[in-house]
Copies of this chain bind each other. A is one copy, B any other.
Amino acid sequence: MEAKKDYESLVERLEEIAHLSSVIGILHWDQEVIMPAGGADSRARQMSALAGVLHEKETDSRLGELIERLHGLGPADFTPVEWCNIREVKRAYDEEKRVPKELVREMADLRSRGHGVWVRARENNRFEEFSPVLEKWVRLKTRWAEAAYPHLPPYDALIDHYERGMTMASLTPMFERMKTRLVRLIRRVREQDEPPDSSFLQGNFPVNVQEQLGRRISADLGFSFAEGRIDVSVHPFCGGGDPTDVRITTRYRTDNFIESLYAVIHETGHGLYEQGRMKEERHRPASESLSMGIHESQSLFWERMIAQNRYFSSHYLKTFQETFPESFAGVSADRLYRAINQVQPGFIRVEADEVTYPLHVILRYELEKGLFDGSVAVADLPGVWKEKMGEYLGIQPPTDTLGVLQDVHWSGGDFGYFPSYTLGALYACQFYQALKKELPGLENDIAEGNFSRIKGWLNQKIHRQGKLFSPEDLVERVTGRPPDEEGFVRYLEEKYSDLYSLRQG
């Protein structure tokens, strides 16, 4: 009886916190999409006022007492979902309590200052201007990790923040094996002298026509426009305030529509995850997305496993031909498929294809690991970066702007985030392979543009599972085995051996 009342009080507090957090989501979307430039200062103050309120609510001692009482009862008295809510809020509450306020303030200051420093350093190709920020971040994040998760090595604590349960002990050997095979695959692709013809993907594609096409395909995949929107921002993202108000963005170039369309598909994957969360628990932690890696698996599932798939090309060729008749006259589905699956080592991670992308991530992982175990000094980063780029991708960036300064993440102290991208790709592939076994006729569905069974499967197996399991356990429950890179690497080897007519080797 008492427990039931306590649980209801807990839920009331959690929902209030969720509503206030979702307001921050709307404000952030608004800032990127809508807000006039002059509103920046006032927006920063609004955000900071709301963050302050949220912090008060999240660290309220009466919340702490409720959590202690409920957690003390143990899981037997609760449903798995209820227990998940209790467990998750306890974790967040305890973490917040363990980290000194003064450190939180120092990090917030460095975050806002660091971004500006990074922007200028990147513009001017001056790594030395950014390195003091990096030095400080490594010190602050080490202190944070030691305070929040003292039983973990600092870099494990940082990884764990994005991908709970993942450690260097798991990642390092996985990334090592991946690296060896992908470096070899890329070398073989590069030895092939005949790149696929993608000239027809350059042309003149009016923005309003691209917009319509993007909306149509997003709706085909299952995105609900009654509970979401697509707009324009400088960098595509998926945001918004609630599973019933999911806002994805893209950007348009009139000379290329594939980039924008695939950004829409990618963000649609994130959006479907959000729209697919369990309804009853919508404003409680148990329903929230599980991890960065699992979120990324959903965007990459649709972008790569579905939309870079041969059957997708064969289905949408006709649509593309009707939409852009000049560019697509005489183009076959096979030519389209080859054109959207080119492998081309480049300097910039966000422009990388699915074969070279993991090496961008592994490089950053190795550097971050080195920064936190002391084996790499901040000052060495530019040199090590270039060296590794040469070793992994066979190219060396001519400037730090095109190298170590390219990503925003480190300016905000987001170490441990990069591995999620490649874990996401790996999960996506493993999910697709499981789905293929479970759903006879999967490829036929794609070829017919019928995505409802696919979306339904993801809804049920992943989206509605919320935070009930760890990422690793979820992958195992869905696919029958824990995450491993072998299937992913073999998928890449087979797909690109075929695409590039590589001899067995």
Chain A residues engaging chain B, CB cutoff 8 angstroms? 15-16, 19-20, 22-23, 26-27, 30, 34-39, 41-43, 45-46, 48-50, 52-53, 224-229, 241-242, 244-245, 282-283
A22 vs B228: C-alpha distance in the bound complex, in angstroms?
24
CB neighbours (8 Å) of A227 from chain B are 36, 38-39
> Do A27 and B23 touch (CB < 8 A)?
yes
Expressed in whole angstroms, the Cα–Cα distance for A36 and B240 within the complex equals 11
Residues of B within 8 A of A52 (CB): 16
Do A38 and B244 touch across chains, with their CB atoms under 8 A apart? yes
9 closest pairs, A vs B, by CB? A39-B245, A38-B227, A42-B242, A19-B49, A38-B244, A38-B226, A19-B46, A19-B45, A39-B244
Interface of A is mostly: helix
For A228, the chain B residues whose CB sits under 8 A away are 36, 38
A288 to chain B, nearest CB (A): 14
Among candidates B27, B42, B48, residue contacting A244 with C-beta atoms closer than 8 Å? B42
List chain B residues, Cβ under 8 A from A34.
34, 229
Contact call A36/B245, Cβ cutoff below 8 A: yes
Looking at A45, A49, A282, the one whose CB has the most chain B CB atoms below 10 A away is A49
Contacts of A244 in B (CB 8 A): 36, 38-39, 41-42
Is B23 a contact of A225 with CB atoms below 8 Å?
Answer: no
Q: Give Cα A283 to B44, complex, Å.
A: 13
* A50 CB contacts on chain B under 8 angstroms: 19-20, 23
Known: A42-B242, A241-B42. A23 touches B22 (CB 8 A): no
Q: Please indicate the chain B residues that have their CB under 8 angstroms from the CB of A53 in the complex.
A: 20, 53
Which residues of B have CB within 8 Å of A46? 19-20, 22-23, 26, 241-242
Q: Cβ of A38: which chain B residues have Cβ within 8 Å of it?
A: 224, 226-228, 244-245
A4 nearest CB across to chain B (Å): 23
By beta carbon, the residue of chain B nearest A39 is B245
A49 to B53 alpha-carbon distance, docked (Å): 11
A20-B49 in contact given A27-B26, A37-B226, A227-B36 (Cβ < 8 Å) = yes
- Give the nearest-CB partner of A240 in chain B: B39
* CA gap between A229 and B245 in the complex, in Å: 22
Known: A16-B49, A16-B52, A53-B20. A39 touches B242 (CB 8 A): yes
CB distance from A293 to the nearest CB of B (A): 26
Which residues from chain B contact A39 at a C-beta distance below 8 Å?
227, 241-242, 244-245
Residues of chain B lying within 8 A (CB to CB) of residue A36: 225-229, 244-245
A20, A26, A39, A244 — which one has the most chain B CB atoms within 10 A of its CB? A39
The CA-CA distance from A226 to B22 in the complex, in Å, is 27
Point out the residues of chain B lying under 8 angstroms from A20, CB to CB. 46, 49-50, 53
Q: How far is the CA of A30 from the CA of B28 in the complex (A)?
A: 13
Q: How far is the CA of A242 from the CA of B46 in the complex (A)?
A: 10
Q: Which residue of B lies closest to A227 (CB)?
A: B38
Inter-chain CA distance A242–B31, complex, in Å, is 13
Q: Find chain B residues with CB under 8 A from A282 CB.
A: 42
Contacts of A30 in B (CB 8 A): 26, 30
Instruction: Verify A45–B245 contact, CB threshold 8 A.
Output: no
Shortest Cβ distance from A22 into B: residue: B46
